[in-house]
Amino acid sequence: MHKGLLGLARGSRAVRGHLYACVAAAVAAGLLVLVQAELLAGVLSGRFTAAVLVPFALVVAARGGLVWVQGLAAARTAAAVKTTLRRRLLSQGGPGERSGAFVTLVGRGLDALDPYLTGYLPAVAVAGVVPIAVLIRLFAADLTTALTVLLTLPLIPVFGALVGWSTRAVTERQWRALTYLGGHFLDVVRGLPTLRAFGRARHQAGVIRQVADAHRAATMRTLRVAFLSSLVLELVASLSLALVAVPVGLRLLSGSLDLTTALLVLLLAPEAYLPLRVMGTRFHAAMEGVAAADQAFALLDAGAPDSGGPMHPPPGVPEIRLEHVTVRYPGRDDAALDDVSLVIAPGERVALVGESGAGKSTLLLLLLGLVTPESGRVLVGGVDLTTADLPAWRRRLAFVPQRPHLFEGTIADNILLGADLPGLLHTATAAAYADEFVQALPAGYDTPLGERGANLSAGQRQRVALARAFCRPSAEVLLLDEPTARLDGRSEAAVIEATRALAEGRTAIVVAHRPAMVALADRVIRLANGKITPTPVGAPS
C-alpha cells in the first residue's frame, strides 16, 4: 500500500472517517458470507426449514446495503484525498507549476487515484480478514478441505506478485508517456505564437503525433500484461477450487462426508480465493494512480520548506554559464547542441555565428527556459534554470526574434504589449529608430496593424520589435536572433545603431550573420553541428 496516501488519509479527520467507514463496510460484507453460506447449506441439505430463507434474504440485503455504504464512503474518501493533494500541489507552486506535465498530473493523474482508493484499499482489507475467517470455519467443518485451501491459497498472491512486478514497470512507462504527451501538448498550445514565429508549428504537429503513438503503444503493453495477470489469477484459483471440489465430491459419494458439510465447504471455498483474486485485479487497475501519487509526493517532498522552493538568480547583470549542455529535440537523432560549455561574463556582448541549424537559436531558447537540456546545466548567476522561477527570470530578459510577431491592434499596443508604461512609448520608439516612420503614418501610434504586421515592411517590423525591447527597462540580458536578416541597407544601419544603444549596460547575446552586427560584439562564438568550434584566424573576435 502507498505510504504517502495512507499518511494523507490518516492525517485528516474527515478523510480518516470516510476511509474507516469504507474499510469496515467492506470487511463486514465479506464476513456476512459465512452466515449466508451456513444458512444456504442448511436449507439445501434439509437441515433447516424453508423459513430460514427469510433471515437468508435479510443477510443478502444487509450485504447489499454494506456494499452501498462502502461505495459511498470510498467515493468521499477519494474526493477528499484528491482535493487535499491538489490543494497542496497548487499552493506549493514551484518551477513546474505552469508546465504541461504539472497540469497533466494535477488533472488526469490524480483522477487515476479513484481505482486505488475506491477499489484496491477496500480489497486489501477484505483480503486480510475474510480468507482467515473462512479458513477458521473450514477447519471446524472439515480438516482435509481446510488443509487443501491453506496450501493452495498462497499461490494466488505469489503469482499475482510475479505478474505485478512487470505490471508496475509497464504502468510507470505508460504514465510517463501520458505525462509527456499531455505536458508537451499543453506547452505547444501555450507556445503556439512563438512556434508560428519560428515556423515550427507543423514540425510540432508531427512530434505530437509521435508522442501519441508512443503512449498508445505503452497503453497496449499495459493492457496486455493486465489481461495476462487476470488469466493467471483465474487459472490458479480455478485449479485450486478443483483440488477442493473433486475430493469433496468423491468423499460425498463414498459416504465419508455428510451433505451439509459438503455444501458448506463448496460454498465457502470460493469465498476464500475470491478476495485475493479481486485484490489482484484491482491492483492492476490502480497502478496508474500509484504512479501519479509517487510523482505528486516527490514534488511535494522536493518543494518542502527546507528545500527553499524555486530559486531566484541574484539581482544585477548575471553571469551566464553552460556546463556540458546537450539538447536533443523529440524525433531527431542528432543533437541540436552537443556537450556545449560556455561562460558569458556580466555585461559582455557575444555574437553567435555559424551555418543554419548549427544550434544558435537553440542556445537562445535555452536561456529563455523554453528548452530543457537533455544533460548538463544552464546557470544564471549560479542558479540552475531548471530550479529557477522562470516567469521572474523572463522579466529580466529582452528578446527580439528573427521574425517578430505583430498582433492585430495599434502600433502602440504592439510596442507596449499590455505594459502600463506610456511614458516610455515615444522614448523607446525613438531609441529604436522607429519614430520617423511611425509618425509618418496616418494615425501615428494609433495606426491599426493587421495580424503579423502585414502592412509594415520587414525593417519596420524589426524596429517595432526593438522598441518593445526598449520598453523593458528592467531587462538585464538582451537576446537577439538575427535582427538584421532580410533588411535593406538603410534599415540594417538603423537596427544596428538601435542594438548598440540597447546593449549598453546589459549582457547581449546576438545571433548574427552580417559583419556589421558581428562587429558590435566583444567576442565571437562559432557553432557548427551543435558544437563550439575555434574562430578562424582573421575572423572578428
* Annotated domain spans of the chain: 3-302, 320-533
pLDDT tens for residues 322-377? 988 998 887 777 888 988 899 999 889 998 988 888 888 889 888 888 888 888 88
Burial class (CB in 10 A: 0-12, 13-18, 19+), 411: buried
pLDDT tens for residues 217-258? 777 777 777 777 777 778 888 888 888 888 888 888 888 888
Q: Give pLDDT, residue 355.
A: 86
Q: Give pLDDT, residue 308.
A: 44
Band (177; pLDDT cuts 50, 70, 90):
low
Least confident of 70-84, 286-300, 360-374, 427-441: 286-300
We find that the CATH architecture of domain 3-302 is Up-down Bundle (1.20)
The C-alpha cell that represents 459 in the structure block: 525593417
Phi then psi dihedrals of residue 350, to 5 deg: -120, 135
Q: Give pLDDT, residue 538.
A: 44
Q: Give pLDDT, residue 43.
A: 84
Least confident of 196-200, 283-287, 438-442: 196-200
Band (82; pLDDT cuts 50, 70, 90):
confident
| Selection from 13-17, 176-180, 426-430, 536-540 with the highest mean pLDDT | 426-430
SS3 526: strand
Residue 499 pLDDT > 70, yes or no?
Answer: yes
Residue 181 pLDDT > 60, yes or no?
Answer: yes
pLDDT tens for residues 346-360? 889 998 988 888 888
SS3 353: strand
Residue 541 pLDDT > 50, yes or no?
Answer: no
pLDDT tens for residues 373-421? 888 888 888 888 888 888 888 888 888 887 777 777 787 877 777 666 6
Buried b (16+ CB within 10 A) or exposed e, 433-446: bbbebbeebeeebe
Q: Give pLDDT, residue 197.
A: 62
The C-alpha cell that represents 77 in the structure block: 474518501
DSSP code per residue over 7-37: HHHHHSHHHHHHHHHHHHHHHHHHHHHHHHH
Q: Give pLDDT, residue 107.
A: 74
How far apart are the C-alpha atoms of 306 and 312, rounded to whole Å?
16
Residue 432 pLDDT > 80, yes or no?
Answer: no
SS3 292: helix
| Of residues 17 and 181, more confidently modeled | 17
Q: Do domains 3-302 and 320-533 have the same CATH topology?
A: no
Q: Is 381 left (phi over 0), alpha (psi -120 to 50) or beta?
A: left
Q: What is the mean pLDDT of residues 430-437?
A: 76
Mean pLDDT rounded to a whole number for the chain: 78
| Of residues 282 and 348, more confidently modeled | 348
Q: Give pLDDT, residue 302.
A: 56
pLDDT tens for residues 38-56? 888 888 888 888 888 888 8
According to CATH, what is the number of the domain 320-533? 3.40.50.300
Q: Give pLDDT, residue 61.
A: 92
How far apart are the C-alpha atoms of 389 and 384, rounded to whole Å?
10
Q: Give pLDDT, residue 58.
A: 92
Q: Give pLDDT, residue 176.
A: 65
- Prediction pTM value: 0.47
Band (537; pLDDT cuts 50, 70, 90):
very low
Q: What is the mean pLDDT of residues 202-220?
A: 72
Q: Are 408 and 451 in contact (CB under 8 A)?
A: yes
Q: Give pLDDT, residue 540.
A: 46
Q: Are 143 and 247 in contact (CB under 8 A)?
A: no
Q: Give pLDDT, residue 204.
A: 67
